Amino acid sequence: MLENFKDKQILILGMGKEGIDSYLALRKLFPHKVLAVGDKKKIGQFDKKIRAILAKDKNLKKYFGQNYLAKAGDYDLIIKTPGISRKERSSFLQGRSEAPSSRITSQAEIFYDNFPGLIIGVTGTKGKGTTSGLIYQILKTAGFKAFWLGNVGKPVLQYLLKAKPDHIAVYEISAQQLQGLKKSPQIAVFLNLFSDHLDYFVNFQDYTKAKANIAIHQTKNDFLIYNSDDSLVKKIAQQSKARKIAFSERKLKIVKGIINPKEIPLPGEFNQLNVLAAILATAPFNIPKEKIKKAIKNFHNLPHRLEFAGKYQGIEFYNNSMATVPETTILDLKTFNGRPISLIAGGSDKGSDYSLLAKEIAKSSVKNLIILGQGTGQKIEEGAKLLPQRKELRSFLAITMREAVKICCQQTPRNGVCLLSPASASFNMFKDYQDRGKQFKKWVKKYGQKSN
């Protein structure tokens, strides 16, 4: 399958989850081959387990720290992780005389080129983790040999080594992973598209172009399930040759024909659209309604995605640390509108426009705005307070998550909601969105135990 890599000089760039998976897969395939890995972080910044794995490999070249790209030009196959942007790649390609066989590839490209079964690719600015999980659950419940891949699911390349023709890969795929792909999945699901990752992409057009790769390389034998309520998604869908199945809020009756919305274990009306997309994506498999209903009822909400974190002193706590763009936080506020809300928001800036979120806060039932650290929180606060209808909005600055949760406990009335929905990335205060969400849950539990 990947035997044509055996004579290549291979460098794996980026040693996060995906990079480690690439390294382990290639080492399993080529036990004695000299490989190379590189990352902008220093080796001491990785956890002990990863350091130990790399240290015992005598056939491994390691490039870590500020100059990790210095030797990249010596390799004829570079497997880059999604975190490395085009701008970073260009820094070592400039002035380089490349051999005809030299190329930069990615896990996604390797997988699409070599997977022997059927791929269901799921993308969207938000909702792809939940939707891909639902698709996987429906297929597994119906008895198919389905595998869930991507940020939440299995590591991609290690799975590829044992993949079979009758396997179905449900692949949650981001814009960074889609960038540069020349193949699209047999079944593509496109949920939504709005501004995100502008700290990574050149501009919104560049981001949109990357997302479009989920659909534009499809053939007439493929399927595209797309959100026709989203004008940008609809425009991209028109470029696909696939058989198209549109979904929209007007078609939510399809969900109600299978399951009572009250039985769906996912908060928020917007999640009904994710359920609808999953139902339509599995339609080509002719799965009985009772199997679909069972799968949906048994689906567990993913961590950090409007996750219920507990109820203390009559206050409900919800963790949506995954809300890294304003549009997601707007949907969260609509979910709880009418109840007193204490909103924890703010983080590092990805170039998003916060004006619509400020308007939503102004007209919603948010009573307390807890600004988390220095960053986008100030933009959100200033925008909301400029609107005359929210002069009574109280705002607080929290330097730590502990302080933010403490303020929530003190200021939120009974029957109210404390909502972590930052509308921003996490990197100015936390390792990642998972770290942010875990800290929120930790302090909710600690303050909750004190109050009971």
Kindly write down the DSSP assignment for every residue of 401-427, as one continuous string.
Answer: HHHHHHHHHHHPPTT-EEEE--SSBST
143 is in an annotated binding site: no
- 140 and 61 in one domain? no
Both 278 and 135 in a single domain?
yes
Average pLDDT over the chain, rounded to whole? 93
pLDDT tens per residue, range 159-176: 999 999 999 999 999 999
Q: How many domains does the chain have?
A: 3
Q: 82, 101, 120 — which closes off a domain?
A: 101
Q: Reply yes or no on whether the pLDDT at 150 is more than 80.
A: yes
What is the per-residue pLDDT for 99?
A: 46
Question: pLDDT tier at 87 (50, 70, 90 boundaries)?
Answer: low
Based on the fold, state whether residues 413 and 349 are members of the same structural domain: yes
Give SS3 for 277: helix
Q: Average pLDDT of 314-337?
A: 96
Please report, for residues 41, 47, 61, 151, 308, the alpha-carbon distance to residue 35 in angstroms, rounded to integers and kept in the order given: 19, 21, 6, 24, 44
Least-confidence region, from 22-31, 64-73, 118-127: 64-73
3 state DSSP class of 356: helix
Within a domain: 57: yes
Read off the pLDDT of residues 196-216 as tens digits, 9 standing for 90 and up. Answer: 888 889 899 999 999 999 999
Question: Where is average pLDDT lowest: 236-250, 260-274, 384-398?
Answer: 384-398
126 is in an annotated binding site: yes
314 annotated as a binding-site residue: no
Tell me whether residue 302 is in a domain: no
125 labelled ligand-binding: yes
Query: Domain with 273 in it: what CATH number?
Result: 3.40.1190.10
Q: What is the CATH number of the domain that holds 36?
A: 3.40.50.720
Q: Name the domain boundary from 101, 124, 158.
A: 101
Same structural domain, 447 and 349: yes
Question: Using one digit for the tens of pLDDT, what is the confidence trace for 279-305?
Answer: 999 999 999 999 999 999 999 999 999
Residue type, 399: I
Q: Which ranges of 169-249 would DSSP assign to H, the alpha helix?
A: 175-178, 204-212, 231-237
pTM: 0.93
**One domain for residues 144 and 257:** yes
Query: Per-residue pLDDT averaged across 425-437, rounded?
Result: 92
**Residue 124, annotated as binding a ligand:** yes
Q: What are phi and psi of 240, to 5 degrees?
A: -85, 140
The sheet with strand 366-372 has its strands ordered as 307-312, 315-319, 417-420, 341-345, 366-372, 394-398
User: Average pLDDT, stretch 368-392?
Assistant: 82
126 with 214, same domain: the answer is yes
| DSSP string over 8-26 | S-EEEE--SHHHHHHHHHH
In a domain, 36, yes or no: yes
In 3D space, the residue among 30, 34, 32 whose CA is nearest the CA of residue 11 turns out to be 34
**Comparing C-alpha atoms, which of 188, 133, 124 is closest to residue 331?**
124
Residue 1 lies in a domain: no
Report yes or no on 279 lying in a domain. yes
pLDDT at 284: 97
Total residue length of the chain: 452
Q: Give me the domain span that covers residue 375.
A: 307-451
- Both 326 and 287 in one domain: the answer is no
Any binding-site annotation on 128?
Answer: yes
**Nearest alpha carbon to residue 128 among 250, 13, 273:** 273
User: Does residue 220 have a known ligand-binding role?
Assistant: no
Could you list the beta-strand ranges (E) of 155-222.
168-172, 187-190
User: pLDDT by residue (tens digit) across 95-115?
Assistant: 444 444 458 999 999 999 999
Same domain assignment for residues 313 and 384 = yes
**Mean pLDDT score, 24-32:** 97
CB-based burial of residue 439 (10 Å sphere; 0-12 exposed, 13-18 middle, 19+ buried)? buried
User: Are residues 266 and 337 located together in one domain of the fold?
Assistant: no
When mean pLDDT is compared across 24-38, 78-92, 322-336, the lowest value belongs to 78-92
Q: For residues 376 and 349, what is the distance between their CA atoms, to the nearest angstrom?
A: 6
Domain boundary at 69, 101, 133, which?
Answer: 101
Does residue 415 carry a pLDDT above 70? yes
Whether 399 and 269 map to the same domain: the answer is no
Give the closest residue to 332 by CA, choosing from 312, 317, 353, 347. 317
Q: Both 311 and 291 in a single domain?
A: no
Q: What is the pLDDT of residue 390?
A: 60
Q: What are the start-end ranges of the E strands in 218-326?
A: 223-227, 243-247, 307-312, 315-319
Beta-carbon contacts of 100 under 8 Å, excluding residues fewer than 6 positions away, are none
The percentage of residues in the chain with a pLDDT greater than 70, rounded to a whole number, is: 95
Contacts of 198 (CB under 8 A, 6+ apart): 204, 207, 350, 351, 352
Same domain, 389 and 270: no
Mean pLDDT of 61-89: 88
Query: Residue 227 pLDDT > 80, yes or no?
Result: yes
Residue 415: inside a domain, yes or no?
yes
